[in-house]
Structure 1
Amino acid sequence: MRKVLVLGGTQYFGKKLVRKLIDNGDEVTVATRGTKSDPFGDDVKRLIIDREKKESMAAAFDGQSWDLVYDQSCFSPMEARDTSEALEGKADRYIFTSTQAVYDFGTLHAEANFIANTYPVEYKNRKEYVGYEGYKEAKRASEAVFHQLGYFEVASVRFPIVVSEDDYTERLKFHVDKILSGQPIGIPNPDLRYSFIHAEEAADFLLEIGNSKFVGAINPGSAGDISLGELVDKITLLTNQKAIVENSIESGTVSPFALPGSWSIDTSLASGLGFRFTELNQLFDQLIQFYIQKSDSN
């Protein structure tokens, strides 16, 4: 039986990953702050850690070892360094949940467009990283720490925007609800483009990349990208309602996808390795229809 440690794993597709690991027959340990309940009962072991306090991780991991670590909760290079040092010699393989935000704003970025192995690291804690630029820098530096320290065989999974029927952020649902109710949506630039992945497929990918020997960075997700304007057009077609789009950033009306620039990725490496994801139009058609039906039933 394989022993797997999941750092985080109590929210969104992290929970889906833990369930898949359990169903895979793995012995799963979940390490969190212990502030949230989880649905796993006696199927997992639990450790209490604080990612911002190295001593808490050193104490929790003392005398233990794992075959594989999934990191769902690292948000600073200090956490990456401290976690790596606390787990040195206790694990061989490390899967870091990263993000397409490590790339500069732009479209269809390949993995080579950001090289973590040579990126200079300035050690800061998570509170020092503010906004989208801070998030990008934190994830870049965290990737760099894991790859440069060399304590583990590391795969950095650069996820695009994650969506699903049970998306707790309700970012896609926001657009459907606004259009159905005839309310305006603030979209300053409808030409910005983004990549997406379904939460179930995100968890599936993490499971399979953990089963593989892949090391380095990889972009998973539905191939291609979609603009905010195209997304709104798709919703108007499926709802048969007119969208009211305004060039506005007013709180309460601005699209939660209205980021400062385009962020999308080239997923050809993942597809070339045999990983398969739902086609992008199909992904949005099924999710939009779900939210329409959910609205009709309320």
Structure 2
Amino acid sequence: MVMEKERGVSPREVLVIGGNRYFGKRLIARLLAAGDRVTVLNRGSSAPPPGTTHLTADRDDENSLNSVLGSRVFDVVVDQVCYTPRQAAIARRVFAGRTRRYLMTSTVEVYEYEDTIARVRETDVDPPSVPVDLQLPWNELEFLDAHYGEGKRQAEAVFAAEPAFPWAAVRVAHVLGGDDDFTGRLADFADRIRTGEPIVVPTVNHPATYIYVEEIADFLFWAVGQDFTGPINAASHGTLTTRQLCEAVAAHVPGGEVVFQEAEVGEVSPFSFRRFYGMDNSRAVRLGFTFGNARQWLGRAVAETLGQVN
């Protein structure tokens, strides 16, 4: 299929795959506010925001995708829910000739094997060098949950191999903020602080980089209008420790006390890390994006998540 649509400055035709919750819906709101024509593709379990065109298909079903897309073409595709190399392989075939740019939301977890005290750069995980195994049980939820970072690594590798269109992968730091945070991680801290239950951390507990929910929506909106390719790290300036996170939560729990319990092995509390999860964001800064500082937005992010914003 050959694209016949001439490039225009505005409005852009943007397809968002997934994106009905958290920072995805914030991205859609920004696109609509900018006058872009937004199409949302999902399985139909929830309606997209008003003002968008809704397509319903199973992204794992190549025939279904081809059928529902028909002759539609897009300036940019933003893929919020590509978790496996199989999904990436289907997308690469389906969207060849249908888009001028493909933007995949990836994760800091792609660096799960890069154990270092230095902030990881995009080049530390080079997609073309990542082995791909399409035969692994990627359709099994338990396997996928246990191999989340690996699934993203291999998905990036599929897009990088004989790319069918210009593509980029936004490696997103741990996201905080919003009254619609569905992860429950900060709420877990609040419950433990309220009851005096200990927060279990590794004996050596490393800090990590984070990004505010509104900031990652801003970043993705910015990235839609750029032309860079390959992976790019998205993280606010500065790092946060488990203690800093818990102290910010404790400020919203009257009478609560933060109690830590160290563990050399075994399961630990959310946002507690036996290795350093810090990302270098200098590539994005060089390209023109301005990040905030995590310590400056942390208080608001916690208040939003705990439902205590006035």
Instruction: Provide TM-score, normalisation by structure 1.
Output: 0.88
**How far off is 1:241 after superposition?**
4.3
Residue 207 of structure 1 is matched in structure 2 by: 221
Change (3 A) 1:182 1:127: same
**How far off is 1:120 after superposition?**
2.0
1:165 aligned residue (171, 178, 195): 178
Change (3 A) 1:291 1:6: closer
Separation in 1, partners of 2:278, 2:301: 20
1:277 aligned residue (256, 281, 291): 291
Separation in 2, partners of 1:133, 1:178: 25
Superposition CA RMSD, Å: 2.6
Sequence identity, in percent? 32
Separation in 2, partners of 1:182, 1:34: 42
Residue 18 of structure 1 is matched in structure 2 by: 28
Change (3 A) 1:192 1:214: same
Alignment map for 1:73-222 (pairs within 5 Å): 73-103=81-111, 104=113, 105-107=115-117, 108-123=119-134, 124=136, 126-128=138-140, 130=143, 134-166=147-179, 167-189=181-203, 191-222=205-236
Separation in 1, partners of 2:224, 2:213: 17
| Range moving further from structure 2, 271-280 or 45-54 | 271-280
Residue 49 of structure 1 is matched in structure 2 by: 57
Residue 67 of structure 2 is matched in structure 1 by: 59
The structure carrying a bigger strand percent of its residues is: 1
Q: Give secondary structure in 2 for the equivalent of 1:149.
A: coil
Q: How many residues align?
A: 292
Q: Which runs of 5+ in 1 are unaligned?
A: none
Instruction: Provide TM-score, normalisation by structure 2.
Output: 0.85
The structure carrying a bigger helix percent of its residues is: 1
Offset from partner CA, 1:170-213 (integer Å, 9 cap, x none): 31232234224433222234622221101111111011111111
**How far off is 1:289 after superposition?**
4.6
Offset from partner CA, 1:32-75 (integer Å, 9 cap, x none): 0111233x22x111111112211111111221111110000111
Letter in 1 for 2:26: K
Q: Give secondary structure in 2 for the equivalent of 1:130.
A: helix
Change (3 A) 1:140 1:250: closer
**How far off is 1:28 after superposition?**
0.7
Change (3 A) 1:16 1:291: closer
Letter in 2 for 1:172: L
**How far off is 1:235 after superposition?**
4.6
Separation in 2, partners of 1:294, 1:91: 42
**How far off is 1:233 after superposition?**
4.7
